Structure 1
Amino acid sequence: MSDTARPFGFWTATALVVGGMIGSAIFVLPAALAPFGWTGVLAWVVGIGGALCVAYALGRLAATMPHSTGAIAVTGAVLGDLPAVLIGWSYWISCWAACAALSIAATGYLAVFWPALAATPARGAAAALVILWLLTLLNLRGARAAGRFQIVTTLLKLLPLLVVVGIVALAAGAGEVTPPPLPAAADVFAGLTPAVTLTLFALVGFEATGVAAERIRDPGRTVLRATMAGTALTGVLYLVVATGIGFMLPPERLAGSVTPFALFVETFWGRGPALLVALFAAVAAIGALGCWVLLQSEVPLGMARAGLLPRWFGIVSARDVPVRVTLLSSVLASVLILAAGSDSLAGLYVFVGKLVTSTTLYLYLAICVAALIRRVAVIPAALGVPFTLWAMWGAGIEASGLGLLLTLTALPLYWMRGQGAIAPQPR
């Protein structure tokens, strides 16, 4: 492929990883993790470690097949066509479900400035749809435009995280950070499973570059470097900001907050900076939405080009954009938003978030199993398998069962798939 077809270098690929990870979850998780105390800190360490294991296995797998169309095709080459279709379909479901969740989250953050956006469930759903389709139109302009948008929004979404890091550093230097007392070991491990599951929701997205490998220049090297760099950077930021907020604000205050970042900044800096944090949180959600709109089209496209889906999914425009698949994915995300239009934004976000996590875990498990079969990154992959299975258990039977049921809808498409891969259109 030419540079037009592979527009993403190392920095854009890293921005895709960071942009996919930093969306909306981290801006609400400090409140959810605050009651766990030191268990929450351990959960971040375990979650980040597990994510890095899977990320390394993905990067090494990509290096063994640099001309593949992405992580789905790589795992399919190792595990077989049927597992690849089911895994890829499950991940595609997580992509358009994530688009719905991020559209909802962005609406919630913007409602801080324009309360009318979320005055009623119907208005909230309508605003979320507008945001979703604006980002869909941007991605229809081509991968290069989407990549530039990721770089800009990634830089902007890092600002609120760096603000919190700065406040925590100043407070720690002045001796104002008072960690809670260390609990008994039994109490720490008792709450570890649900806490790790919560952290994983914020870490989902580190696989973005591997999934979109077809758009990456020199994927044999770039996928591994960008995936590890983006995952490590984001993980460290998450650990610092979530721990700082959890340790510096009383748990009872955090427990009742839906905007813990804004509450933290308002407490230690003032109302004006807190509003800016809310604005950047909206930017973070919108930036991540741009990443996931790209992925929701790239996944079926890569599968079709690998011969795993009917050829309909592999048709692209003159700009190499799978217009049909992009529109179909956004339509399904819109249906998901409208299906629960009578619920509050918060309730809908929680429901969709569980669906995203449960359907993504199948890809993580497949990556680790494929790495073990190929005998690459054996130790990280061996650690990643029990970590992923543990996270599936923590997600609960309801979420994992729903994800599995939706995944099985791919079976008719597998039987209808065309023979052979679809070659990229000539430039």
Structure 2
Amino acid sequence: MHDRHTRRFGLGTATCLVMGNIIGGGIFLLPASVAPFGTVSLVAFGVLTIGALALALVFGKLARRHPDTGGPYVYAREAFGDFAGFLSAWSYWTMTWVSNAALAVAAVGYVHVLFPGHQSRGVDLMVALGALWLPALANFAGTRYVGAVQLVSTVLKFVPLLFIAVVGLFFFDPDNLGPFHAGGGSAIGGMSAAAAILLYSYVGVESAAMSAGEVRDPERNVGRATVLGTIGAAVVYLLGTVAVFGTVAHDKLVNSKAPFSDAVNAMFGGHWGGTAIAAAAVISIVGALNGWTLMSAQSPYAAAKDGLFPALFLTKRRGVPTFGVLAAAVLASALTVINYLTGAGGVFEILVLITTFSATVPYLLAAGAQIYFLLTGQRDKVRPARFARDLTLALVAFGFTFWLVAGAGYAAIYQGVLFLFAGILVYAWMAARRTGRLRAGAPDEGAPAGTP
């Protein structure tokens, strides 16, 4: 039951949650990352966008049937039972707090551009921890503050990126594009190689579904926000990348460390582009951290209601699961401290690899749940029930996510599976406790009754 003082997300705020979570800090390096493959990477981006939209539509349809906080977890558990639901929640929870640590470390690099004087490891650590805890404080204040921060940060990062994308078309020079296929081998191989880098650009499409319980009129607005947010992110990604490709010479772009800054400098001259883009990047990352901090609490909250995560995760105030926010902030902070104090880059790299695989588990299970509901004739779970269209969408979404797994690479899958299987111990412990309580005739710890 919702606190009377909770302001639930409207369509605009829910859309900003999706768009803000999709567009983190990666967009600012993306054009340089895919430039070595040539303009075939733009085709790869277009194909990926279709897959991401299919996944967005599937989440929207599933949310009509289950407009509850937890999104992918809820769908997996409904279709395949407790264990599949737990794996979805565990995997998603792992991904959120580990990637939050990575985002905070990325923010430090852009702060260096804005304030070039400081270079000490201690100051860097303080900046990274500030990037983690400021969004956590906004979350502790409640959903109305989370929504306000998300709205403002999304507008502040969307406007400069869209400005470069639109104005860049007036400075567009086809000679800057370079070859269509710059790498060796076939064009299809080049497209797949570029896609492997671009694939994770759309992680975050599930954000509105994950917070469906906090969205006003979720049966209508979750699907709309998911699709609108994904389209908004796609417009920024595609037009922005095209603008950079057309304004920065290909040989320079391949080696660029700040492609959007180079594009601004190429358009208007001078060297102020770096500062402007660094400011946009910091705002973008803080906005993404604000949204992902909320996501890190929603999945364990939903699982705790069913007794699959510890009951502490049920603690909720002003629409936000506060213990989940605190746990994620503490774990991400610990990772960040380890990264800076030990200089153990290898450990951090492994953890980042884990996130790339972990994001795909809830997606695969959600797409699989949609296919299951369709094939078992449970039409009420997938309204409106146009079987062929909905099954095609679900299969495309599953294929897109399967491509995500393939693009993650051997190392990411290896590390990710190890971490996923470690969760089996937690599941065994929680299942044993729940069975023991039921035998003793005690109420189920996961019962949502009495939670604020």
After superposition, the CA RMSD in angstroms is: 2.5
Q: Which of 378, 388, 399 in structure 2 is aligned with 1:386?
A: 399
Deviations 1:95-125 (A, max 9, x none): 11221122112211111122345x2444423
Evaluate the alpha carbon distance shift between residue 342 and residue 34 of structure 1 in structure 2; reply closer, same or farther with a 3 A threshold. farther
Distance in 2 separating the partners of 1:249 and 1:343: 38
Match in the other structure for 1:330: 329
Partner of 2:378: none
Matched to 1:389, the amino acid is F
* Matched residue type, 1:398: A
Equivalence for 1:406: 419
Seen in structure 2, the aligned counterparts of structure 1 residues 349 and 246 have a Cα distance that, compared at 3 Å, is: farther
TM superposition score normalised by structure 1: 0.91
Deviations 1:63-113 (A, max 9, x none): 112246433112211121101101111111111122112211221111112
Aligned to 2:254: 255
Aligned to 1:171: 171
Q: In structure 2, give the amino acid aligned to 1:305.
A: K
In 1, Cα distance between the equivalents of 2:346 and 2:7? 39
1:301 is matched with: 301
Unaligned runs of 5+ in 1: none
TM-score, with structure 2 as normaliser: 0.87
In the TM superposition, what are the counterparts of 1:12-411 in structure 2 within 5 Å? 12-67=13-68, 69-117=70-118, 119-172=119-172, 178-183=176-181, 187-269=186-268, 270-317=270-317, 319-341=318-340, 353-375=352-374, 376=382, 377-411=390-424
Secondary structure of the 1:341 match is helix
Encode CA deviations 1:141-167: one digit per residue, 9 max, x unaligned.
112211111001000011221121123
Bigger mean CA deviation after superposition, 46-55 or 271-280? 271-280
Give the Cα separation in 2 of the matches to 1:57 and 1:100.
29
Helix, strand or coil at the partner of 1:257: coil
Deviation at 1:243, TM superposition (A): 2.3
Could you tell me which runs of 5 or more consecutive residues in structure 2 were left unpaired when the two chains were aligned. 375-381, 383-389, 435-443
Q: Name the structure 2 match of 1:423.
A: 448
Native 8 Å contact 1:32 1:255 kept in 2: yes
* 8 Å Cα contact 1:61-1:74 kept in structure 2: yes
Count residues in correspondence: 423
Contact 2:158-2:236 within 8 A present in 1 as well: no
CA offsets per residue over residues 288-316 of structure 1, 9 Å max, x none? 11001111111211211233323222123
SS of structure 2 residue aligned to 1:368: helix
**Closer, same or farther in 2 for the Cα pair 1:5/1:400, shift >3 Å?**
farther
The answer to whether the Cα contact below 8 Å between 1:54 and 1:367 also exists between their aligned partners in 2 is: no
Per-residue CA deviations over 1:368-407 (Å, capped at 9, x if unaligned) read 1111001143111111222222221221111122122222
Tell me the distance in 2 between the aligned counterparts of 1:306 and 1:215: 18
Q: Judging changes above 3 Å, is the alpha-carbon distance between structure 1 residues 192 and 4 closer, same or farther for their aligned structure 2 residues?
A: farther
Identity fraction in percent: 32
With over 3 angstroms needed to count, the CA separation of the structure-2 counterparts of 1:187 and 1:69, relative to structure 1, is: closer
Letter in structure 1 aligned against 2:202: L
Shift of 1:258: 2.3
Change (3 A) 1:411 1:99: same
Shift of the alpha carbon at 1:279? 0.6
* 1:288-347 deviation per Cα after TM superposition (whole angstroms, max 9, x unaligned): 110011111112112112333232221234x34333222211111112222332688999
How far apart in 1 are the matches of 2:226 and 2:330? 29
Distance 1:49 1:346, change over 3 A: farther
